[in-house]
Amino acid sequence: MNILVINAGSSSLKYQLLNPETGALLAKGLCERIGIDGKFTYKPQVEGKQVLDAVDVAMPTHSEAIQAVLNALVDKDNGVIGSMQEIDAVGHRVLHGGMAFTESCIIDDACIEAIKECIPLGPLHNPANLMGIEACQKVMPKTPQVAVFDTAFHMTMPEKAYTYAIPYEYYEKDKVRRYGFHGTSHRYVSARAAAVMGRDPKGLKLISCHLGNGSSLAAIVDGKCVDTTMGLGPLAGVPMGTRAGDIDATIMEYLMDKYGYSIKEMLTILNKKSGVLGISGVSSDFRDLENAAKEGNQRAELALEAFQYSVKKLVGAYAAAMGGVDAIVFTAGVGENDAATRMAVASGLEFMGVKMDAEANNVRGKETVISSADSKVKVLLIPTDEELMIAMDTAEIVGK
């Protein structure tokens, strides 16, 4: 079975063709500058096939981009499948499923309407995700399609965790509540963590730390999310590459009054100029920050410390919320690659039974246990694979 996984942005589209039964990746790539001058990248994962790197392909809309993907996949010299019929289904990443979607679903008219209704909650991403869906429907009308939502995994949160302490009518009338994101990643790594531990997810209390350019934590009991750090949108929680994370709303009023910023300008500051970039003034990339810190840049050091402290604090909060924790899982760009950050987050948690193994932690991008054998709380590194999770969901739903 082959599943085409699509992650559509407003002017870009990432794709992977993979077999969810074996986990084999056949090809992946990227369409960029859709609607501008069209750049197409194709990376077949089969030996002897030629890579295309940002070549010019006219893509006035997402439909031409999908057509370019299909042309490359079935190309007689460099393709990885014989024909389009070998694509059994398409799985789409969709950012915001609001309260309508507690799990992935087959894309039909009702599903598209519901995704449209969630546009006010995901104004940047949902319209782009819909463009990807509509393009696939046009170019491959007979192939079933499935939507997989970043928010769906978090829909099991109890009311007390998702309710904001603002007038309740904003929840009732306007659906203002905590939704959470990175759900596909948290779901994948928490299931893998249980498997690596040889345990049934039922009975396990996990804290999943997705630390990348965007970061979020999730508290997971019995395989179900009970709390997460992102909120109505992906700006809340820990500081991120360029996003502020949780701040006191008073800051907005103070700065907007003082500098005459519009709400749009203020949000640009909070989304694009804040986080570890904002603190350090150096970079949003943790590798740059670590290099700068080594050279004595104190604000880079402070940015790393503020990030690590914030993650540690929420690990403690979630352990308290769950009444204990069996395992802490690190994933995504920083979580998978940055041993120093993992160590900084976990050290000081010995009081609650966390004991790291420095040697085991000296590893990158590998599914492994990084706590010591006698650590009461296991600490694991689990590389995330959102595309595989989307393909697995798609195969399961289409199989039904």
Among 64, 326, 338, 385, interactor with ligand AMP by CB under 6 A? 338
Stretch that binds ligand AMP, among 28-36, 106-114, 314-322, 332-340 (CB under 6 A): 332-340
* Residue 74 to residue 78: CA distance in whole angstroms: 8
Task: State the nearest-atom distance from the C-beta of 289 to ligand AMP, in Å.
Answer: 8
Residue 337 contacts ligand AMP per CB under 6 A: yes
Task: State the nearest-atom distance from the C-beta of 338 to ligand AMP, in Å.
Answer: 4
Residue 226 contacts ligand AMP per CB under 6 A: no
Widest pairwise Cα distance in the chain: 62
What is the per-residue burial (b if ≥16 Cβ within 10 Å, else e) of 44-72? Answer: beeeebeebeeeebebeebbbbbbbbbeb
Task: State the nearest-atom distance from the C-beta of 21 to ligand AMP, in Å.
Answer: 26
Stretch that binds ligand AMP, among 24-32, 148-156, 218-226, 330-338 (CB under 6 A): 330-338
**Interacting positions 241-260 with ligand AMP (CB under 6 A):** 241
What is the three-class DSSP state of 240? coil
CA nearest to 28, candidates 56, 58, 6? 6
**Interacting positions 184-223 with ligand AMP (CB under 6 A):** 212-213
The site map against ligand AMP for 257-296 (x = CB under 6 A) is: ----------------------------xxx---------
CA nearest to 156, candidates 186, 131, 128, 136? 186
Stretch that binds ligand AMP, among 92-100, 126-134, 262-270, 328-336 (CB under 6 A): 328-336
Q: Phi-psi category of 268—alpha, beta or left, where left has phi over 0 and alpha has psi -120 to 50?
A: alpha
Q: How are strands ordered across the β-sheet holding 205-211?
A: 224-228, 215-221, 205-211, 327-331, 378-381, 368-369
Judged by CB under 6 A, the number of residues near ligand AMP is 11
CA nearest to 226, candidates 153, 151, 177? 153
Stretch that binds ligand AMP, among 4-12, 31-39, 304-312, 326-334 (CB under 6 A): 326-334
Sign of CA dihedral 155, 159, 162, 167: positive
What are phi and psi for residue 82, nearest 5 degrees?
Answer: -80, -40
Structure tokens at 168: 């309740």
Task: State the nearest-atom distance from the C-beta of 214 to ligand AMP, in Å.
Answer: 6
The residue among 242 and 375 lying less far from ligand AMP, judged by its C-beta, is 242
Residue 79 contacts ligand AMP per CB under 6 A: no
Task: State the nearest-atom distance from the C-beta of 242 to ligand AMP, in Å.
Answer: 10
Residues forming the active site? 150
The residue among 285 and 301 lying less far from ligand AMP, judged by its C-beta, is 285
Q: What dihedral do alpha carbons 232, 223, 324, 189 form, nearest 10°?
A: -80
Among 139, 196, 219, 332, interactor with ligand AMP by CB under 6 A? 332
Task: State the nearest-atom distance from the C-beta of 108 to ligand AMP, in Å.
Answer: 32
How far is C-alpha 198 from the geometric centre of its chain's CA atoms?
Answer: 25
The residue among 66 and 332 lying less far from ligand AMP, judged by its C-beta, is 332
C-alpha dist (Å) from residue 14 to 26, 66, 209, 287, 369: 14, 10, 24, 24, 31
Site of interaction with ligand AMP (CB under 6 A)? 212-213, 241, 285-287, 332-334, 337-338
